[in-house]
Structure 1
Amino acid sequence: MDFNDEDFYSQKRRRKNDRSNLLTAFVSAIIGGLIVLMLMPTFVNSGIIDLTPKGGVNPPSQTINNQTPTNVTSGKQIQVDVNSAIVDATEKVKPAVVGVVNIQKQTNFWTNITKSVEAGVGSGVVFDKRSGKAYIVTNNHVIEGANNVEVALADGKRVPAKVLGADELTDLAVISIDEKYADAVATFGDSTNLKAGEPAIAIGNPLGLKFSQSVTVGVVSSPNRTIDKDLDGDGQPDWETDVIQTDAAINPGNSGGALLNINGDVIGINSAKIAESGVEGLGFAIPISEAKPIIDQLIQYGKVKRPYMGITQIDLHSVSQADRVNVLKLPESVNDGIVIYDVSRFGPAYLAGLKRLDVIVKLDDQPINSSSDLRKFLYKQKKVGDKMKVSFYRDGNLQSIELTLTEVPDQNRR
């Protein structure tokens, strides 16, 4: 009985050892295979294993862009020289983008000592060099109120600048420096045929000279946007500014800088940034094709010559329905137009016979719905000396007269 029990347990241990040996062999085979796979690249590179097909047939070469194929060896770094169109455009214009420093005099309240201080910093674009001068376009609000203006060059040097002219309505200004300080000149492009989605590159000095000549890249979000401007602070829009909208980041200090297309041509002058809580910032630029004639006049005259009617007006939309009927005596069908609030003595409107409380509805047979429409029609479709037909209501009757436009007097200029 004892013998038989011993034999039973001995056989059981042998079966268990056989299973253990089989498992060990299986695991060892897997580990060995993995080691061979990991060492295969090393064996191939060192020549221990030759994978070249027999018979002297070499594998076909592969070329990219008609260039000689490059053999890549494990462990070696590959350097790629990228000359993209965006980099080329940036390098072309970047030297022509400068800082514009607004310097104003301030008097200390306690010591009564007056000294010059930096009131603000913006950007500018060198666009021409001639007759010993380099001409720079920037924004009106960048140099507004300045006693002196300086230009900060790419190397950090500052040089004095002269303001040649500025225009509040379009927010453009032109300044000049000595030609010897300008290393490069930017090329003006064409903004009339821009397409939404094409690349846009903004260069300027966001947040001051510390980040001078910063570059941001985006697309043209919309080639034609309109922003209302309230010039006199009465809460009513006095002018509609046509702008290019872009998602290229434009921050304070970028004003006056360049907006470029992929060819490195200036398509806009960066002018404003609208940012709201929780909303991506929207960048805007003055289209260069609209800026060119303004820039030319600022250089030639130091101002923009615009036609003048000689009236002060309010929008009919702001007049109550009761006053439209009882005071202006308008037909119920008339809902759009501008009301003459005052007539400048001896101005074109005065000489033509227009009076206070006349309601203008058309100019040269084109509907005029607001003060913004009036200015846009005058400044974009008429010139000083032009004749213009005015259609208006007086005491409920539709009438028309013709007047001759003169130039805006300096005291009325914006």
Structure 2
Amino acid sequence: MTMNYNKQKQKTTYWRGIFSGLVGALVLGLTFLLIGYGFNYRVQPVHSQEQPLSSTDFENTITSVVDKTRDAVVTVSNYQNQQNLQNALPFPYNQFQNQEDSQGQEQGQDGGIDLDKFDSQQVLTATGSGVVYKVDGKTAYIVTNHHVIDGADSVEVTMANGDTLEAKIVGSDSLSDLAVLSIDASKVTQTIEFAKSEDVKVGNIAIAIGSPIGSEYASSVTQGIVSGLDRQEQVDSDGDGNPDWEMTVLQTDAAINPGNSGGALVNSQGKLIGINSSKLADETIEGMGFAIPADDVAKIAQELEENGQIVRPQLGVSMYDLSAISLNSRQEVLKLDENTTDGAIVVEVVAGSAAEEAGLQQYDVITKVNDTDITDSQSLKKALYDYKVGDTITVTYLREGKQATAKITLKAPNNQTNTMQGSQN
């Protein structure tokens, strides 16, 4: 009896061991499986982050930006007095002036068109775009291009919803090609925030909003990218046919057409990265538009609000580019060596000017302003305009081939008109 009991006990122990081993293996396997799953779960990237932006996402970005900004972009109309209205009217209306009808009566009398009463009326001379960037109490401020409102006797602004308001020119500046207008704020529903120019990168989305060709196409939207930064554009601010300023602009391939001038170029967040100002127009060129960077716009707009004009410092000299004169003149008249080709020649010193007080003389060749090299008259202007009236700068110049320096405290000009090549500053 004792032996049989022991055998039965051994059998029971044996099966318990097998069962325990199976359970242990199962638990161990599940443990490794769960650990492995958890590890994979933690380290695997989220699937959506691996996918490119879908067309739907891209479209939603564009439409969201347009919804956020479009009502802040307006049409700007430039009206000017027209004394000889018949020259501005289309055929056949321009034929009525001083013509006799079949009964010997001059048109304009007894049922004809009397153009005399139109003599002092204003006609639409130009249209462009503008951007509402600020509301202060009952007044809203719009930035546009100077060339859009240049010569205007009155200006009207048409909102995106079609409401037309009279606008006041707060200030305008030809060199920066910017102007600020003000309107009644009661019709304004949106403003656009300025981006920081340092955050703008080549390849960023660029969305242009404006009124190409005219108000008929108001609130038109085109899309592209930022194609380039710090492009240099020649500006003829006085209309003499010679460039007298070099403007720094950003380049975009978003379609820019006549009428887009003064309109918004915004990024994918709906912030203003530039004011559209110009394009290269040629049958061999496509997609090269330019905008004034947001930092420059914000700075100029603020000063125009405060002063109505941009007060730039002047040395009080007339200048000429050293590179524009012959080698013989550089050597014989200015006493320079043959390797000196860059600089701005002082042609004339204005009496009582900062330059005269500092001792600059005719035929001095300015080569530096502080640490900035001066290559020509334009670069001298650009260097000076980084400073304010009252700032003191160090000017390096050559006099009969010998280098010298002068400390000059900058003054305000008597007026804002510059003549260039020879250029005055």
Fold shared, TM-score > 0.5 on shorter chain: yes
**Residues 1:84 and 2:89 are matched in the alignment:** no
**Residues 1:369 and 2:375 are matched in the alignment:** yes
Instruction: Give 1:129's match in structure 2, choosing from 125, 129, 135.
Output: 135
CA shift digits 1:356-413 (9 cap, x unpaired): 2111111114321011211111112x22111111121222222221111012322536
Residue identity opposite 1:94 in structure 2: R
Instruction: State the alpha-carbon separation in 1 of the partners of residues 293 and 403 from structure 2.
Output: 39
Instruction: Give 1:383's match in structure 2, choosing from 357, 370, 388.
Output: 388
Q: Which residues of 2 match residues 163-242 of structure 1 at below 5 A?
A: 163-232=169-238, 236-242=242-248
**Residues 1:98 and 2:74 are matched in the alignment:** yes
Question: Relative to 1, partners in 2 of residues 1:180 and 1:235: Cα closer, same or farther, differing over 3 Å?
Answer: closer
5+ long unaligned stretches in structure 2: 1-46, 49-55, 88-96, 98-114, 420-425
3-state SS in 2 of match to 1:329: coil
Instruction: Give 1:394's match in structure 2, choosing from 396, 399, 403.
Output: 399
Aligned length: 336
> Counterpart of 1:148?
154
State the shift of 1:253 in Å.
0.2
Instruction: Give 2:327's match in structure 1, choosing from 313, 321, 326.
Output: 321
Question: Relative to 1, partners in 2 of residues 1:93 and 1:310: Cα closer, same or farther, differing over 3 Å?
Answer: same
Instruction: State the alpha-carbon separation in 1 of the partners of residues 241 and 218 from structure 2.
Output: 35
**Residues 1:259 and 2:265 are matched in the alignment:** yes
Instruction: State the alpha-carbon separation in 1 of the partners of residues 225 and 381 from structure 2.
Output: 31
The answer on whether the counterparts of 1:365 and 1:391 sit within 8 Å (CA) in structure 2 is no
Instruction: Give 2:292's match in structure 1, choosing from 276, 286, 289.
Output: 286
CA shift digits 1:301-334 (9 cap, x unpaired): 1111221111110110101111111222212231
Residue identity opposite 2:66 in structure 1: T
Residue identity opposite 1:96 in structure 2: A
Residue identity opposite 1:339 in structure 2: I
Instruction: State the alpha-carbon separation in 2 of the partners of residues 130 and 365 from structure 1.
Output: 40
Question: Relative to 1, partners in 2 of residues 1:189 and 1:366: Cα closer, same or farther, differing over 3 Å?
Answer: closer
Question: Relative to 1, partners in 2 of residues 1:165 and 1:309: Cα closer, same or farther, differing over 3 Å?
Answer: same
**Residues 1:351 and 2:357 are matched in the alignment:** yes
Q: Which has the larger radius of gyration?
A: 1
3-state SS in 2 of match to 1:286: strand
Instruction: State the alpha-carbon separation in 2 of the partners of residues 230 and 393 from structure 1.
Output: 29
**Residues 1:405 and 2:410 are matched in the alignment:** yes
The answer on whether the counterparts of 1:250 and 1:283 sit within 8 Å (CA) in structure 2 is yes
Instruction: State the alpha-carbon separation in 2 of the partners of residues 173 and 160 from structure 1.
Output: 16
3-state SS in 2 of match to 1:393: strand
Instruction: State the alpha-carbon separation in 2 of the partners of residues 224 and 330 from structure 1.
Output: 33
Instruction: Give 1:107's match in structure 2, choosing from 68, 83, 86.
Output: 83
Residue identity opposite 2:401 in structure 1: G
State the shift of 1:227 in Å.
1.2
5+ long unaligned stretches in structure 1: 1-63, 66-79
> Counterpart of 2:163?
157
Aligned CA-pair RMSD: 2.0
CA shift digits 1:38-57 (9 cap, x unpaired): xxxxxxxxxxxxxxxxxxxx
Normalising by structure 2, report the TM-score.
Answer: 0.75
Instruction: State the alpha-carbon separation in 2 of the partners of residues 327 and 183 from structure 1.
Output: 64
Instruction: State the alpha-carbon separation in 2 of the partners of residues 107 and 172 from structure 1.
Output: 28
Residue identity opposite 2:350 in structure 1: S
State the shift of 1:131 in Å.
2.2
Residue identity opposite 1:161 in structure 2: A
State the shift of 1:83 in Å.
6.0
State the shift of 1:339 in Å.
0.6
Q: Identity rate of aligned residues, in percent?
A: 44
Instruction: State the alpha-carbon separation in 1 of the partners of residues 229 and 239 from structure 2.
Output: 28
Normalising by structure 1, report the TM-score.
Answer: 0.77
State the shift of 1:136 in Å.
0.4
Question: Relative to 1, partners in 2 of residues 1:360 and 1:193: Cα closer, same or farther, differing over 3 Å?
Answer: same
Residue identity opposite 2:60 in structure 1: S
State the shift of 1:193 in Å.
2.2
Instruction: State the alpha-carbon separation in 1 of the partners of residues 164 and 213 from structure 2.
Output: 18
CA shift digits 1:14-69 (9 cap, x unpaired): xxxxxxxxxxxxxxxxxxxxxxxxxxxxxxxxxxxxxxxxxxxxxxxxxx98xxxx
The answer on whether the counterparts of 2:252 and 2:287 sit within 8 Å (CA) in structure 1 is no
The answer on whether the counterparts of 2:144 and 2:180 sit within 8 Å (CA) in structure 1 is yes
